Amino acid sequence: MASVWYLGEVVPRVVVPWLSLLPSRPRPAGAAGVGAAGAATARSDGAATADDPAIAEAVRVLRGGGLVAFPTETVYGLGARALDPSAIARVFAAKGRPARHPLIAHVMDETGARALAAAWPYAASILARAFWPGPLTIVVPRAPHVPGAIAGGADSVAVRAPAHPVARAILAALGEPLAAPSANRYQSLSPVTAAHVVKSLGDAVDLVVDGGPTTEGIESTVVDVRGGDVVVLRPGAIDLAALRAVVPARLHHAEPPADGEGRASPGMDARHYAPRAALILAGAGDAERAAIDARARPGKDGAPAKVALVVRAEPSAAIDASFVVHVLPADAKGYERSLFATLHAADDAGCDVVVVEAVPDGDAWLAARDRLARARA
Ligand code: TXA
Ligand code: MG
């Protein structure tokens, strides 16, 4: 009903807020938040944009129990009213996600987060003040009025105040928290543009608010503070060094899973974040050989496989123009920002195989290592 026919395919309605059309301005020095490089950094006050027709339409659809995909600074989220169990059930159905996988509740600020928590540990205050609005998600005890469905039945709730001006405009105009997992089908690659949302979810989403490409390009870091210490459940856009600077003594994290292994925390299956193409993770120095070998695999219609090669330095002459080559930034932050967009591009180019050169060891690369370990075939 909410969808329209376009070139023979059913697609959801896509609206563009005014603030995404404004030229981006650099953030003021010292402003909280992230990513100066993206499109929609023009305003962050939210409240002043409630008269934007795209924001008003998003709120109308959400109040009617619908699903609205919207940009955050990390990835696009699939939003639904967090306190409405039937809207939450629709999120799980649209994603094809098992009910035990909990969702993040998005709020404007620490006050909004505390309203969803049964207790607010000291570490939560320290972290919220250091990183919000921004890409940090904090798991705290769940208040009784928050539906258990959002937490996959657990007695906790994950909260985050996003920095993206479009996300903030929607939250401000709605005046309630929004449950929002990444706006993709279960186990597939997170969307970093509105087009990626449409590709993954089709008309399972009622409305897509297009705020341009996201700036962080990878999901938020998820931490659990219920035990007093800060336990990293999912590495992400806030790296360990940044966390350690704020909570030096109390930080715990684990390495990404070895092949085929799951993880204790809910919703962290080993296989996740996968492109359609088969992803091969090649040791440093072996990537070109692996790409050449991958060509011997059968591709579509019996032709040799179409192979993408994702590296951090120009390849040698052995890699000719028949390969799709992506040279990503050599620094961890720059690499993270372009990783998902690159994997989407390889899928969109019809690649059968993506060979990715493994990333370095060390804390700075933890989030990229985690996503690649889960994305591989
Ligand atoms: O950057 C992000 O976090 C994006 C944007 C849209 O905010 N959202 C996102 O949501 O990545 P999703 O649902 O794809 O991932 C949520 C993560 C999962 O790893 C889940 O296990 C964890 O947060 N999580 C959510 N609630 C939790 C809870 N109560 N306890 C433990 N982990 C939780
Ligand atoms: Mg996700």
Distance CA 197, CA 183 (A): 6
Q: Which CATH number characterizes residue 142's domain?
A: 3.90.870.10
- The number of CA neighbours under 13 Å toward the Cβ of 207 is 25
Same domain for 171 and 313?
no
- How many angstroms separate the alpha carbon of residue 189 from the centre of ligand 1? 14
- How many angstroms separate the alpha carbon of residue 159 from the centre of ligand 1? 9
| Contact in structure between 244 and 251 (CB atoms under 8 Å) | yes
Q: Which CATH number characterizes residue 342's domain?
A: 3.40.50
Same domain for 60 and 133?
yes
- As for how many domains the chain has, the answer is 2
Residue 305 lies in a domain: yes
Confidence of residue 51 (pLDDT cuts 50, 70, 90): confident
Same domain for 166 and 239?
yes
Same domain for 185 and 84?
yes
The confidence score (pLDDT) of residue 42 equals 30
Q: Is 73 in the pocket of ligand 1 (CB under 6 A)?
A: no
Nearest to 24 by CA among 54, 53, 44: 44
Closest Cα to atom 15 of ligand 1: 181
The confidence score (pLDDT) of residue 264 equals 45
Residue range of the domain that includes 319 = 278-375
Residue 175 lies in a domain: yes
Query: For the chain, where are the alpha helices, taking DSSP H only?
Result: 18-21, 53-63, 85-95, 110-114, 122-131, 165-174, 194-201, 240-246, 287-294, 332-348, 366-375
Which of 197, 219, 371 should be mutated for ligand 1, with most atoms under 8 A from CB?
Answer: 219
Residue 269 lies in a domain: no
Q: Is 180 in the pocket of ligand 1 (CB under 6 A)?
A: yes
Ion ligand 2 neighbours (CB, 5 A) are 182
- How many angstroms separate the alpha carbon of residue 220 from the centre of ligand 2? 10
Question: What confidence tens digit (pLDDT) does each residue in 307-360 have?
Answer: 999 999 999 999 999 999 999 999 999 999 999 999 999 999 999 999 999 999
Alpha carbon 356 to its chain centroid, in Å, reads 20
Confidence of residue 38 (pLDDT cuts 50, 70, 90): very low
| Contact in structure between 372 and 356 (CB atoms under 8 Å) | yes
Same domain for 185 and 108?
yes
Residue 267 lies in a domain: no
Question: What confidence tens digit (pLDDT) does each residue in 137-170 have?
Answer: 999 999 999 999 999 999 999 999 999 999 999 9
Residue 176 lies in a domain: yes
Confidence of residue 13 (pLDDT cuts 50, 70, 90): very high
User: Which atom from ligand 1 is nearest to the alpha carbon of 157?
Assistant: 29
Residue 90 lies in a domain: yes
Same domain for 19 and 122?
yes
Residue 67 predicted with pLDDT over 50: yes
Q: Is 137 in the pocket of ligand 1 (CB under 6 A)?
A: yes
Residue 109 lies in a domain: yes
- How many angstroms separate the alpha carbon of residue 135 from the centre of ligand 2? 14
Which of 97, 137, 142, 184 should be mutated for ligand 1, with most atoms under 8 A from CB?
Answer: 137
User: Which atom from ligand 1 is nearest to the alpha carbon of 220?
Assistant: 1
Nearest to 132 by CA among 235, 247, 221: 221
Tell me the percentage of the chain whose pLDDT exceeds 70: 85
Same domain for 79 and 151?
yes
Does this model's pTM top 0.85? My answer is: yes
- How many angstroms separate the alpha carbon of residue 181 from the centre of ligand 1? 6
Same domain for 108 and 192?
yes
Same domain for 113 and 233?
yes
Alpha carbon 152 to its chain centroid, in Å, reads 19
Same domain for 130 and 247?
yes
Residue 248 lies in a domain: yes
Same domain for 240 and 129?
yes
Structure-derived torsion over alpha carbons of residues 260, 261, 265, 266, reported in degrees to the nearest 10: 40
Question: What confidence tens digit (pLDDT) does each residue in 221-233 have?
Answer: 999 999 999 999 9
Same domain for 287 and 236?
no
Confidence of residue 377 (pLDDT cuts 50, 70, 90): confident
Which of 182, 186, 230, 370 should be mutated for ligand 1, with most atoms under 8 A from CB?
Answer: 182
Residue 237 corresponds to which tokens in the numbers above?
A: 């856009």
